[in-house]
Structure 1
Amino acid sequence: MSSVIAVYPGTFDPMTLGHEDVVRRATQLFSHVIVAVAAGHHKKALFSLEERMGMVREVVEPFKELVTVESFSGLLRDFVVARNGKAMVRGLRAVTDFDYEFQLAGMNRTLMPNVETVFLTPSDKYQFISSTFVREIATLGGEIDKFVSPAVRKKLLAKVRSMARE
């Protein structure tokens, strides 16, 4: 396999089993995957950047030979180019994701003509999972075991409890 660096960007607030599955799939295609955790200037994140980075690092530990975790702010283009990325990995859950992701891929192709966007779908059992749904279910006291790793579950429930005390 030739050395191809792929970047998988997202806010990962929190990282779900679907995200983890996309990382696993990406490691089978690329020599190195950088999970790029967005500072999240346009979204109000439940977890701080440091907390999200820690969770992602813990979740991708089984792939540590092929995956690194970094944060970024500003234009994703600048991050990808600075790391010599040749591919950007985007997860697609459903048709509803496709329109937005297709437009984003077009913009990214204009900004980064030498970088390909690769769409990966998670396993069927993870296609309906979104970080937004997981946060809402956890906040309302629902069961989240089927959506996040045990490490993320622990941190998410602790965060929800700390918010309830405020």
Structure 2
Amino acid sequence: MEKIALFPGSFDPLTNGHLNLIERSSQLFDKVIVGVFVNTSKRSLFTLEEKLQLVTEATKHLKNIEVIAQASQLTVDSAAELNARFLIRGIRNVKDYEYERDIAIMNHHLSADLETVFLLADEAYGHISSSLLKEVLKFGGDVTAYLPENVCKALNQKNREMTQNEQ
């Protein structure tokens, strides 16, 4: 039986920390589906279509990765439709663990066959988040070390557009 994992996230933007988790997951599972999901509690910088394209391009070097978009469905329902029995979640710190643990328990309640696999963030990326990178970039900081090249270009372009609109 093929081991399929779903790595859901909003990926706004995809960071090198996310990419590191995707690469590591690709070595653990036969197939990893990166689900670009909508986070209803956050206002996205990139559209769902833009994020789908950026993640697809950044992961094209991995042969067992599929990237999908999902705008309006529970993660457990998406996993069932995709025949994914595993969810991948990254943990950077204790705060992440507590948050992710609660979600994993609820997901297990909703779908007892679905197992959440936690991967510890690589120490090079454990201190970053998409929100932090967007904030640093907004005020002129350099975040290139934390983003795939294609995402960095798109984020810089988006930042220029937003700056022009504010003037």
CA–CA separation in structure 1 for the residues paired with 2:13 and 2:147: 8
Aligned Cα RMSD in Å?
0.9
Letter in 1 for 2:116: T
- Corresponding residue for residue 114 of structure 1: 113
Q: CA deviation at 1:123?
A: 1.4
CA–CA separation in structure 1 for the residues paired with 2:88 and 2:151: 22
- Corresponding residue for residue 70 of structure 1: 68
Q: Percent identity?
A: 37
Q: CA deviation at 1:121?
A: 1.5
CA–CA separation in structure 1 for the residues paired with 2:162 and 2:136: 14
For residues 6-155 of structure 1, the aligned pairs below 5 Å read 6-63=5-62, 65-72=63-70, 73-155=72-154
Q: CA deviation at 1:42?
A: 2.9
Tell me the TM-score normalised to structure 1 length.
Answer: 0.96
Letter in 1 for 2:67: V
Letter in 2 for 1:71: A
Tell me the TM-score normalised to structure 2 length.
Answer: 0.95
Q: How many residue pairs align between the two structures? A: 164
Q: Is the 8 A contact 2:4 2:30 kept in 1?
A: yes
1:8-45 per-residue CA deviation (whole Å, 9 max, x = no partner) reads 00000000000000001101110000000013333210
Q: SS at 2:145's partner residue? A: coil
Unmatched segments (≥5 aa) in structure 2: none
Q: SS at 1:42's partner residue? A: coil
Q: Which runs of 4+ in 1 moved over 4 A?
A: none
Q: Is the 8 A contact 2:76 2:114 kept in 1?
A: no
Q: CA deviation at 1:152?
A: 0.7
